[in-house]
Amino acid sequence: MFHFGIYSVWILFVAVFNVALCNYSEDQCSWRGSGLSQQPGSVEQISLHCSEGTLDWLYPQGALRLSLSPRLPSAAVGPGGGGGSSGLITACVKPSGDFHGAQLYLERDGVLELLLGDRGADPAAPPMVRCFSRLPGERLALYLQATPHQDISRRIAAFRYELRGDWTARLSLDSNRVNSEDACRPCNNTEILMAVCTSDFVVQGNIRSVEADQSLRAAVIKVSATRVFRQKYALFTGPGRLIRRGDIRTLQQCGVRPGSGSFLFTGRVHFGEAWLGCAPRYKDFLQAYLVAKEARQIPCELAVD
Protein backbone atom coordinates (compact mmCIF):
# COMPACT_ATOMS: atom_id res chain seq x y z
CA MET A 1 0.00 0.00 0.00
CA PHE A 2 1.36 3.44 -0.92
CA HIS A 3 1.32 6.43 1.45
CA PHE A 4 1.67 10.16 0.76
CA GLY A 5 4.38 11.87 2.79
CA ILE A 6 6.60 14.96 2.73
CA TYR A 7 9.58 13.16 1.21
CA SER A 8 7.80 10.28 -0.51
CA VAL A 9 4.93 11.50 -2.64
CA TRP A 10 3.07 9.65 -5.34
CA ILE A 11 2.28 11.88 -8.26
CA LEU A 12 -0.60 10.49 -10.20
CA PHE A 13 -0.40 10.90 -13.94
CA VAL A 14 -3.46 9.11 -15.29
CA ALA A 15 -3.35 8.68 -19.06
CA VAL A 16 -6.85 8.40 -20.45
CA PHE A 17 -6.29 7.13 -24.01
CA ASN A 18 -9.66 7.95 -25.55
CA VAL A 19 -9.70 9.34 -29.06
CA ALA A 20 -11.36 12.73 -28.80
CA LEU A 21 -12.59 14.57 -31.86
CA CYS A 22 -13.07 17.96 -30.25
CA ASN A 23 -10.94 20.98 -31.15
CA TYR A 24 -7.99 21.99 -29.05
CA SER A 25 -5.46 24.82 -28.92
CA GLU A 26 -1.70 24.51 -28.81
CA ASP A 27 -1.55 25.79 -25.23
CA GLN A 28 -3.36 22.59 -24.16
CA CYS A 29 -0.45 20.44 -25.30
CA SER A 30 2.09 21.06 -22.54
CA TRP A 31 2.30 21.86 -18.86
CA ARG A 32 5.01 23.50 -16.77
CA GLY A 33 4.80 24.03 -13.04
CA SER A 34 6.50 23.75 -9.67
CA GLY A 35 5.89 21.45 -6.74
CA LEU A 36 6.74 24.35 -4.43
CA SER A 37 3.35 25.91 -5.13
CA GLN A 38 1.48 22.83 -3.91
CA GLN A 39 0.49 21.82 -0.42
CA PRO A 40 2.06 18.53 0.78
CA GLY A 41 -0.24 15.69 -0.16
CA SER A 42 -2.34 17.82 -2.54
CA VAL A 43 -3.27 16.71 -6.05
CA GLU A 44 -3.41 19.28 -8.85
CA GLN A 45 -5.75 18.41 -11.70
CA ILE A 46 -4.38 18.92 -15.24
CA SER A 47 -5.89 17.98 -18.60
CA LEU A 48 -4.09 18.06 -21.97
CA HIS A 49 -5.73 17.48 -25.34
CA CYS A 50 -2.94 16.97 -27.88
CA SER A 51 -1.28 13.94 -29.40
CA GLU A 52 2.14 15.27 -28.38
CA GLY A 53 3.56 17.71 -25.89
CA THR A 54 5.78 18.15 -22.85
CA LEU A 55 5.60 18.11 -19.08
CA ASP A 56 8.13 20.06 -17.00
CA TRP A 57 7.79 19.63 -13.26
CA LEU A 58 10.23 21.66 -11.19
CA TYR A 59 11.11 20.65 -7.62
CA PRO A 60 8.86 17.55 -7.60
CA GLN A 61 6.62 17.30 -4.54
CA GLY A 62 2.91 17.35 -3.95
CA ALA A 63 0.90 15.57 -6.64
CA LEU A 64 -0.38 15.96 -10.19
CA ARG A 65 -3.29 14.28 -11.91
CA LEU A 66 -2.87 14.60 -15.66
CA SER A 67 -5.49 13.34 -18.10
CA LEU A 68 -4.64 13.03 -21.79
CA SER A 69 -7.47 13.19 -24.34
CA PRO A 70 -5.65 13.52 -27.66
CA ARG A 71 -7.35 14.47 -30.90
CA LEU A 72 -6.33 11.58 -33.17
CA PRO A 73 -7.60 10.69 -36.63
CA SER A 74 -10.62 8.40 -36.48
CA ALA A 75 -8.85 6.02 -38.87
CA ALA A 76 -5.25 6.42 -37.77
CA VAL A 77 -2.82 4.47 -39.86
CA GLY A 78 0.58 3.17 -38.85
CA PRO A 79 3.73 3.34 -40.99
CA GLY A 80 3.20 -0.17 -42.28
CA GLY A 81 -0.23 0.73 -43.60
CA GLY A 82 -2.42 -1.01 -41.00
CA GLY A 83 -5.88 0.37 -40.52
CA GLY A 84 -7.06 2.09 -37.38
CA SER A 85 -10.11 -0.08 -36.76
CA SER A 86 -8.51 -1.98 -33.88
CA GLY A 87 -8.74 1.01 -31.54
CA LEU A 88 -5.12 0.52 -30.44
CA ILE A 89 -3.43 3.62 -29.01
CA THR A 90 0.34 3.65 -28.53
CA ALA A 91 2.06 6.14 -26.23
CA CYS A 92 5.76 6.93 -25.91
CA VAL A 93 7.56 9.02 -23.33
CA LYS A 94 11.06 10.45 -23.67
CA PRO A 95 12.75 11.84 -20.53
CA SER A 96 14.91 14.94 -20.69
CA GLY A 97 18.64 14.47 -20.35
CA ASP A 98 18.52 15.74 -16.75
CA PHE A 99 15.33 13.96 -15.67
CA HIS A 100 15.77 14.01 -11.90
CA GLY A 101 13.74 13.75 -8.73
CA ALA A 102 11.09 11.20 -9.71
CA GLN A 103 10.39 7.75 -11.12
CA LEU A 104 7.72 6.99 -13.69
CA TYR A 105 5.70 3.77 -13.54
CA LEU A 106 3.10 2.22 -15.81
CA GLU A 107 0.19 0.61 -13.99
CA ARG A 108 -1.61 -2.06 -15.99
CA ASP A 109 -4.37 -4.08 -14.33
CA GLY A 110 -3.04 -3.22 -10.88
CA VAL A 111 0.58 -4.19 -11.62
CA LEU A 112 3.30 -1.52 -11.60
CA GLU A 113 6.10 -1.56 -14.18
CA LEU A 114 9.00 0.88 -13.99
CA LEU A 115 9.27 2.97 -17.15
CA LEU A 116 11.72 5.71 -16.17
CA GLY A 117 14.02 5.73 -13.17
CA ASP A 118 15.43 8.76 -11.39
CA ARG A 119 18.44 9.61 -13.56
CA GLY A 120 20.06 11.25 -10.56
CA ALA A 121 20.94 7.73 -9.38
CA ASP A 122 22.78 7.01 -12.65
CA PRO A 123 23.38 10.27 -14.56
CA ALA A 124 25.71 8.55 -17.05
CA ALA A 125 22.91 6.33 -18.38
CA PRO A 126 21.42 7.67 -21.64
CA PRO A 127 17.75 8.74 -21.48
CA MET A 128 15.64 5.96 -23.00
CA VAL A 129 12.36 6.27 -24.88
CA ARG A 130 9.70 3.91 -23.55
CA CYS A 131 6.54 2.95 -25.44
CA PHE A 132 3.42 1.04 -24.50
CA SER A 133 -0.04 0.45 -25.94
CA ARG A 134 -3.60 0.40 -24.72
CA LEU A 135 -6.03 -2.10 -26.16
CA PRO A 136 -9.75 -1.29 -26.33
CA GLY A 137 -11.28 -1.50 -22.86
CA GLU A 138 -7.92 -1.73 -21.10
CA ARG A 139 -7.30 0.57 -18.15
CA LEU A 140 -3.82 2.10 -17.85
CA ALA A 141 -2.28 4.72 -15.61
CA LEU A 142 1.11 6.38 -15.28
CA TYR A 143 2.50 7.09 -11.83
CA LEU A 144 5.26 9.64 -11.33
CA GLN A 145 6.77 9.10 -7.90
CA ALA A 146 8.94 11.76 -6.30
CA THR A 147 12.07 10.19 -4.86
CA PRO A 148 13.01 11.13 -1.28
CA HIS A 149 15.47 14.05 -1.08
CA GLN A 150 16.17 16.50 1.73
CA ASP A 151 17.26 19.06 -0.88
CA ILE A 152 14.94 19.30 -3.89
CA SER A 153 16.82 22.15 -5.58
CA ARG A 154 17.97 21.65 -9.18
CA ARG A 155 15.56 18.74 -9.64
CA ILE A 156 13.30 18.72 -12.68
CA ALA A 157 11.17 15.80 -13.84
CA ALA A 158 10.59 16.61 -17.50
CA PHE A 159 9.60 14.48 -20.46
CA ARG A 160 7.99 14.63 -23.88
CA TYR A 161 5.04 12.44 -24.82
CA GLU A 162 3.49 11.26 -28.07
CA LEU A 163 0.30 9.29 -28.67
CA ARG A 164 -0.66 7.78 -32.00
CA GLY A 165 -3.32 5.46 -33.32
CA ASP A 166 -2.17 2.04 -34.52
CA TRP A 167 1.57 2.55 -34.45
CA THR A 168 2.98 -0.83 -35.44
CA ALA A 169 6.06 -2.57 -34.09
CA ARG A 170 8.02 -0.97 -36.94
CA LEU A 171 8.17 2.23 -34.93
CA SER A 172 8.36 0.78 -31.44
CA LEU A 173 11.39 2.04 -29.54
CA ASP A 174 10.94 -0.10 -26.45
CA SER A 175 13.62 -2.60 -27.38
CA ASN A 176 12.58 -4.93 -24.58
CA ARG A 177 9.21 -5.53 -26.26
CA VAL A 178 9.98 -5.31 -29.96
CA ASN A 179 8.89 -8.19 -32.16
CA SER A 180 11.89 -7.95 -34.50
CA GLU A 181 10.35 -10.36 -37.01
CA ASP A 182 7.39 -8.03 -37.55
CA ALA A 183 9.44 -4.84 -37.24
CA CYS A 184 12.04 -5.86 -39.83
CA ARG A 185 10.02 -7.75 -42.45
CA PRO A 186 9.76 -6.08 -45.89
CA CYS A 187 6.47 -4.33 -46.70
CA ASN A 188 4.18 -5.88 -49.27
CA ASN A 189 2.85 -3.82 -52.18
CA THR A 190 -0.37 -2.89 -50.39
CA GLU A 191 1.56 -1.61 -47.37
CA ILE A 192 3.98 0.31 -49.58
CA LEU A 193 1.20 2.12 -51.47
CA MET A 194 -0.58 2.99 -48.23
CA ALA A 195 2.68 4.19 -46.62
CA VAL A 196 3.14 6.63 -49.51
CA CYS A 197 -0.18 8.23 -48.57
CA THR A 198 0.08 8.25 -44.80
CA SER A 199 3.76 8.67 -43.90
CA ASP A 200 5.27 11.85 -42.47
CA PHE A 201 7.96 11.74 -45.14
CA VAL A 202 8.25 10.18 -48.60
CA VAL A 203 11.73 10.51 -50.11
CA GLN A 204 13.64 8.97 -53.00
CA GLY A 205 17.33 8.64 -52.32
CA ASN A 206 20.49 6.64 -51.78
CA ILE A 207 22.13 5.23 -48.64
CA ARG A 208 25.48 6.93 -47.96
CA SER A 209 26.27 5.00 -44.78
CA VAL A 210 24.73 3.33 -41.74
CA GLU A 211 25.84 4.21 -38.21
CA ALA A 212 24.85 3.04 -34.74
CA ASP A 213 22.98 5.16 -32.20
CA GLN A 214 23.82 3.41 -28.94
CA SER A 215 21.54 5.64 -26.83
CA LEU A 216 18.48 4.38 -28.74
CA ARG A 217 19.97 1.03 -29.77
CA ALA A 218 19.07 2.02 -33.31
CA ALA A 219 20.71 2.16 -36.72
CA VAL A 220 21.00 5.60 -38.33
CA ILE A 221 20.71 5.53 -42.13
CA LYS A 222 22.50 8.48 -43.73
CA VAL A 223 20.47 9.35 -46.83
CA SER A 224 21.23 11.51 -49.86
CA ALA A 225 17.79 12.55 -51.09
CA THR A 226 17.40 12.93 -54.85
CA ARG A 227 13.71 13.77 -54.59
CA VAL A 228 11.57 14.81 -51.64
CA PHE A 229 7.93 14.06 -52.39
CA ARG A 230 6.73 15.07 -48.94
CA GLN A 231 8.13 15.82 -45.50
CA LYS A 232 6.21 16.95 -42.44
CA TYR A 233 9.22 18.72 -40.97
CA ALA A 234 12.55 19.90 -42.42
CA LEU A 235 14.13 16.45 -42.16
CA PHE A 236 16.03 16.52 -45.45
CA THR A 237 17.83 19.79 -46.13
CA GLY A 238 20.66 21.10 -48.24
CA PRO A 239 21.94 23.99 -50.36
CA GLY A 240 19.78 23.06 -53.34
CA ARG A 241 16.74 21.11 -54.45
CA LEU A 242 18.90 18.29 -55.81
CA ILE A 243 21.32 18.13 -52.87
CA ARG A 244 19.54 17.24 -49.64
CA ARG A 245 20.66 15.02 -46.82
CA GLY A 246 19.01 13.58 -43.75
CA ASP A 247 19.03 10.76 -41.22
CA ILE A 248 16.49 7.97 -40.82
CA ARG A 249 16.50 5.65 -37.81
CA THR A 250 15.43 2.04 -37.65
CA LEU A 251 15.79 -0.85 -35.23
CA GLN A 252 19.34 -2.06 -34.87
CA GLN A 253 18.32 -5.71 -35.03
CA CYS A 254 17.00 -5.23 -38.57
CA GLY A 255 20.62 -5.28 -39.75
CA VAL A 256 20.41 -2.48 -42.33
CA ARG A 257 23.59 -2.24 -44.43
CA PRO A 258 24.75 0.31 -47.02
CA GLY A 259 23.76 -0.70 -50.53
CA SER A 260 23.76 0.69 -54.04
CA GLY A 261 20.69 1.79 -55.90
CA SER A 262 17.78 4.16 -55.35
CA PHE A 263 15.19 3.56 -52.59
CA LEU A 264 11.85 5.07 -51.65
CA PHE A 265 12.02 5.88 -47.93
CA THR A 266 8.79 6.35 -45.97
CA GLY A 267 8.11 6.58 -42.26
CA ARG A 268 7.07 8.62 -39.25
CA VAL A 269 8.53 11.52 -37.30
CA HIS A 270 9.08 10.45 -33.71
CA PHE A 271 10.22 13.06 -31.16
CA GLY A 272 11.60 15.15 -34.00
CA GLU A 273 13.47 12.27 -35.65
CA ALA A 274 12.65 10.29 -38.81
CA TRP A 275 11.92 6.58 -38.25
CA LEU A 276 11.74 4.13 -41.11
CA GLY A 277 8.48 2.56 -42.25
CA CYS A 278 8.58 0.96 -45.69
CA ALA A 279 11.69 1.30 -47.88
CA PRO A 280 11.44 -0.61 -51.17
CA ARG A 281 13.85 -0.14 -54.02
CA TYR A 282 12.47 2.68 -56.12
CA LYS A 283 12.12 0.57 -59.26
CA ASP A 284 10.06 -2.00 -57.34
CA PHE A 285 7.82 0.72 -55.90
CA LEU A 286 7.36 2.35 -59.30
CA GLN A 287 6.33 -0.94 -60.88
CA ALA A 288 3.79 -1.65 -58.11
CA TYR A 289 2.49 1.92 -58.27
CA LEU A 290 1.97 1.94 -62.04
CA VAL A 291 0.22 -1.45 -62.00
CA ALA A 292 -2.12 -0.28 -59.21
CA LYS A 293 -2.77 3.03 -60.97
CA GLU A 294 -3.69 1.26 -64.18
CA ALA A 295 -6.14 -0.88 -62.19
CA ARG A 296 -7.41 2.25 -60.35
CA GLN A 297 -6.42 0.73 -57.02
CA ILE A 298 -4.00 3.36 -55.68
CA PRO A 299 -5.09 5.00 -52.40
CA CYS A 300 -3.53 8.35 -53.44
CA GLU A 301 -1.61 10.00 -56.28
CA LEU A 302 2.15 10.58 -56.24
CA ALA A 303 3.90 12.73 -58.85
CA VAL A 304 6.28 10.04 -60.06
CA ASP A 305 6.61 11.42 -63.62
- pLDDT tens profile 55-110: 888 888 766 767 666 665 544 434 333 344 456 778 888 888 888 877 887 877 77
Give the chain's mean pLDDT: 75
Distance CA 121, CA 286 (A): 52
Is residue 94 within 8 A of residue 271, CB to CB? The reply is yes
List strand residue ranges (DSSP E) for the chain, in order.
10-13, 31-34, 44-48, 52-58, 64-68, 89-95, 102-108, 111-116, 130-134, 140-146, 156-165, 201-213, 218-231, 237-240, 243-251, 263-270, 273-276
Helix (H, G, I), strand (E, B) or coil at 178: coil
Please tell me the least confidently modeled range out of 62-76, 143-157, 195-209, 271-285.
62-76
180-294 CATH, one of 2.40.40.20, 1.10.1760.20, 2.40.50.120, 3.30.70.60: 2.40.50.120
Higher pLDDT, 262 or 175: 262
190-205 burial: b if 16+ Cβ within 10 Å, else e: ebbbbbbbbbbbbbbb
Ordered by start, the domain boundaries in the chain are 10-167, 180-294
Query: Hey, how many other C-beta atoms are within 10 angstroms of the C-beta on 22?
Result: 7
- Residues 154 and 120: their CA atoms lie apart, in Å, by 11
Span 151-167, pLDDT tens digits: 656 788 898 988 876 55
